[in-house]
Structure 1
Amino acid sequence: MLARLMIATALLAAPALAQPQDQTAPDGPPKRVRSILLYGDQSCPKPANPDEIVVCSNAGESPYRIPKRFRDQPKEDAPSTSWSRRMEVVEDFNSAGLPNSCSPVGSGGQTGCTRQMLQQWYQDKLDKEAKASRVP
């Protein structure tokens, strides 16, 4: 029984061994792979030998230039602040001592601290969301 099994296995393997090997197929992975970043109008170089693969990728205008998505970020200094926000700051400053002002000055200055903290928290939240939406 074992002899028949071995003979059947040898007969099945014989056609696979008798086939000629394809000489054009590579024996394994390429010997060298080069990855190149191209800038501007550069062209992809040719491989030095048949065992080398060259992979080219366009990386933009120049290696020394900031990408367009990071250029021209909106300014956050005083001249670029809106007039309505400037007016809110002036009103907050001038309301010291009045009721709901959260100020140590005046008779009604102690009220309004909770409202002011909630407004500040909400403004900080909006500022963080605006900054996060600008970052790529």
Structure 2
Amino acid sequence: MQELYQCGVCGKIVQIIIAGKGTLVCCNQEMTLVQEKRGEEEGKEKHVPVLDKTATGVKVKVGSVPHPMAEDHYIVQIEVIGDNFQQVSQLKPEDAPEKEFCVPFEQVKKVRIFCNKHGFWTNL
């Protein structure tokens, strides 16, 4: 899967599509590999993606308990990944913490969300 790196100074996040040699640097320092949370951590009930099959694809809800969507704490994006696709939907604080994607439910290999306070979470 595609790796994510974050700058410890400015917070910028970079996604690696194709890995190569070398080191990612931002703000004159090496970027850090972002570790995805998988549900063993505190807060899993509000962050681990929940998938439902729909007539046209898959609906992703963030958490078994709805995640807050306030200016200072919200889900920034929901991402569905399969062998031959990757779809990302950006959210704003006034949106519901869920999105529907028109991709075959059976082909979804991973779902990843990004919370502006608690980082990346996945359903795996």
* Larger relative contact order (Cα-Cα within 8 Å, sequence gap ≥ 6): 2
TM-score by length of 2: 0.16
Decide which structure has greater strand share. 2
Normalising by structure 1, what TM-score?
A: 0.15
Query: Which structure: larger Rg?
Result: 1
